[in-house]
Structure 1
């Protein structure tokens, strides 16, 4: 007996590979983008190649063909219902292409990759650039050719279909073949860890792109739905305009009748031929007079003479035949009609004999408005054609004959609106754009009548749009829907791009992962060593950055703490009786200290200048104060070098400006310092004037002129660059870093200003700066000192209990003197812990001034505990610290402090902020 296994195994392999291809193909169909019947990503191509490489070749190739055939047959037969012989050709051709492609891909893989698989860059490149794209040319070419040859696609969609098919197969192969080969491989080099490293990112990216594709198709569907709505509204508007134009043509007959002395059949035909020239809406236009029984012979005789010898009043009987009208009190005959040739059957028709016609005529007479009939089938038509007739009442008609004026009465102008002519090219435009139409009359809800309907099936999944209309007293509805061909009427390039480029990037990313993991397996120890070194360098860099940050914080604190005492006690001494000489010396020392403080601020802020993140203030300031500071600072320096330093300020220059005084002061300090440094004889002059820009702004012109060494012409272009000086020898002779002018240029540009330079060797240099400032026109500026602001009350802080939490004795003493001088009752605590214990017994404190860096408990922790305590959370807390860097200020505000006062303390700012927060109070939630 022959063994069963050799027979069963090939069958089982064919079955499993066919099922795998079928399932992957089903998923690929979900990603299909019309037109073209091709998916932008075809996972089945990757499954096919992987199966060919992992399992027996012949049976796998057969199984792939069977899976492809079954899949495409289901698509052709719409779920395997109604399968015919004619449907078998296309799936067979596509299945053949899939089988041949998988075999060619297997052959190329073995020829180019041998045993390297995906462990080397060269193997990945060959697989990406040769194996996948070349082998996938086969199925795309065979499938697209078959679709076109069998009429499934037209010539305009060949390129799109082929490109989508080829790209989909290529990306599917690139993405899924390596993944499946590695996951199902039994080779030791593909460890479990490496499989997870490849599978998890690929699955995540694949899922993400699929989600994006889904969202894109949903958005596309919403756009399509909006397109249907817009199309329906546009169609309804065009139809409404066409009805309105046609109704206006009937109204023209009213004017025609009212302006004529006699209306003959010839007159009516001539006027109608003019009005209805090139009109496709009206089947005909008629004149229907209201005729009494006694005038019937006169009308019939006139019509027989002018229109037709066979003219008589006729009724439509119950069998649908026209018979001579019996005697009745009033007739409504169709008397004139245009065009006569194609509407002759309706001539003489007594409208009162038609069902439901007389009530419409009587209601039109009663309302004076044109009224339409329900949809009818035209009597004169050789085929059934829907139409509606609009009757316009005419109340004062002229005679129809000059010989007999009695042949005149009120009547109706009627217009027969044929649906084919009314809709005409409007429907053609809809059909061309893959839309269908249903036009119905809903006046009678129990008997809805269809006026027009396109013979096209609705496309499922899209809601039709219905627009209600009214015409001639009738209720109409226009419904526009996407037909069965709408879905392939436009190319969804967005979704196509998401799938194609998304999965292409995913495939490339997977190739990158393969390369990385393969390299990792081969040189694992080297990677570990490099990683260790990189980690060390990273930690070193992080420590250096942390050290820099700590250095800036400590430097700020250490410089500001003694400077706070110097400036504070100078200010307090100035408030005591002193001689004029002492006051002059102290004032100059105060100005110099203030400038030193500005220099410290700018030095600590240099990193912001370097990175371009310069924060500019817009506050009111006194220009004279800045000029005075500059004069005090550089007069002594100039005298030491035995040169002059002078300042000329145009008297017309406004004194009070709005802008950033610290940046302006820094620019002047750098320019003047640079000029004095490079001047050995003569001197330096600062000139200040202004030009009016508009009613509220001025251009402040600053010129620093020196008689120094000058700058070579070729060096002038780079003099404003960082770490640059006029020549190499200059740095050795005069010192400096070369940052001064670079900082000036950055500050000027940040303030939207201009800076320029003129220089001649051994003659001198002139640097000009122009900055725009707003003029401060307010009478009460921020620069007034606190004693002026409170002349009527020298103790604005009277009756206020303020707790100062500060660990430095001199700072505590200084703050106590300042606050007490303005009337406050001051309590002190050496650190946060002592402050909290003090508040437990003295909770009637109005405000707390809190330092940050203190032993035992710092200001941040103390603030958190004070705010957390219901008994003390109402007390406003203001940071009073030498840490003025923005990160420290933000930390104060984030923890719950209301404001920040930088050391050295400005007593005007101190009193202003204390009053502000004591008066406004606080409400923490």
Structure 2
């Protein structure tokens, strides 16, 4: 089956490539400079063996018998051409096997050059000579043309083999050429060079062909001009005769002879000029008697019929030939009535009716009936009578033989570049020169007007003119380009091969570096994963500490206990900030940090943070002041919590590193355009300051100015790194100026969208979450949480808010509960045994009875993947552990049906 497919494939490929190459065949035929088929089929023969030859043989038989140039060759010669094309492929392969050491090491120039010479110029030359011999015996082409055609065949095949055959040997593993790792460069160069050189040659040849074509057209112009001049002369003769008959009431034969001899020159090959009077039947006898009196042989008015010349039958009038000059050669036409002539009668009537020139069809003349080349031009003579009316008196005619007329013009010009043919009256009348042939290379048609009819002169090039297409200079340029192209391909390949070892070493070194880089990235990912996991593990116990502390502060009345609980609460906040910083860092490094977009007032947010740190500043006996521009009260759209986080980190650092003096905050908002505002915030302290060399790494993760700073002041070194990245996410940046022992100034610049100023009612609605003045009336909440401590904390916080609470240890218990109950809200943990939170949420959202129940995720950490998964389920709200009662109240307030305060 594989062999049959190879035969079919090679047949189709060979046929297509031959048809493609035939598009560029020489004007003489037989050969083309663009002949990729030999190179392609030879390459496939090297790879797949003799089955390729079978397909090529069948295709050659088909295309050779379709070639018009080879159709006239004897059958045995056509078959011979087919066979030698196949033998050429076999012979090329034999040369490689016989004279080359296989597989050929193409990295060595000698081996490559030897391979190319044997398959290309040497083998192609031998079979081009055989091709020449066959055409020598089978055609009548001149020797120069045969040599040129054979040379084109040699160059075309040599060209195709050298550039295209190696491509196949580079593409696939084979026994002839050692596979190279860098073969694509040579392949691309080969294809590009082949296309470039053939294109340039075709462009130059096409320009030369068009130039020769224009030269051919130019050679026909004198002939056309002389033809028109001759026609004009004939019209002048007719007008002269018309003037003669207009000037005299009677013109005798001798007078007619003298006049016609005077106007008819030898340079215009006109056979005769004649006068045909209008004779009525009553005047017939008198007319015939005048012929007899003048000694004319034909004394009767005659009529041409299918049986020959007969005496004219009776009719109302006749138009017989009366005077005709020269008389001796044309006397046989005297007396012939043209009004009844089977060929010219219509032309005669048309001339009389139109009162103008009319040319007859081609006909046999009465005085020369063995040729169908006669043409007669008729012109009616109208003379005014005594009362001024025009009266038809007869016809003048000019008789000529078109072959004699055109041949005389052709000889006068002495041109041998073309043959011609004349056609007129919609090609109903066609005359061809005896040597005219229509299978010429150049053809040119010129539209003409022959008296009253449209016609055309068609010219075809002669063999002598076509030989001018042989251009050895262009062919020489092609050969030079071919040699240069081969050198370029080999140069590129040798350069690539030379660099192969170097490239291999570079590749190996690069692979080693990439491996080490992958190991570093894996270590970094492991670090991020560890930080995320440890942050999650910290949050879970912190939720218990902070939750029970908040509940205890609310339920106890012992003041000492409240003081202890307050300290625990503060320490928990510090620990939570550290955990949040670590988690934020991992989110940023993983590209999972997502910002919210709500309206907020920078001055209000900043003031709330300052109030948080007032007590801390008082403990260190330093001042904490604010200086806000009026524009700082303008509203912007952005992440209020992340903006607050920036201020907290900067104020916390400023107070931590300032022992004397104070800390001040300056803020301003600047309108950029109709859509955005630039928010500027400066935190200035009089603390210890930062050395210039330490400022560059201050915003790096886990970095502080000095190691001693960590020992004295504590901290993770993450705060400023997170601040810088948050500024970048908000379209801004942070800058630092600092002097050691004098203090530091941090300048935050953020670009945020504008937001409209909220009404008092809207502000009250935004502040509702922090207010505990309202209660959630009879709201039933299902808490799905596997940790018993967290269950207790959530339950107590919800009951304190006035809500009812039911518990489920995992997702499956939640589904069982929902079979019989419909809560107002579900607080869903993510990581649980038996069934996780997302699986349970998916089943709930798929249940038509339950899908309306809002679900809020309650989890220690939520990554980007978790947020995307929740969003696909329609879950948009999250409560992060550890949480406070205000977080629960905010979520419940959003979904409760009670009136909001």
Q: TM-score, normalised by structure 2?
A: 0.48
Q: Using CA pairs below 8 Å that are at least 6 residues apart, which structure has the higher relative contact order? A: 1
> Who wins on radius of gyration, i.e. which is larger?
2
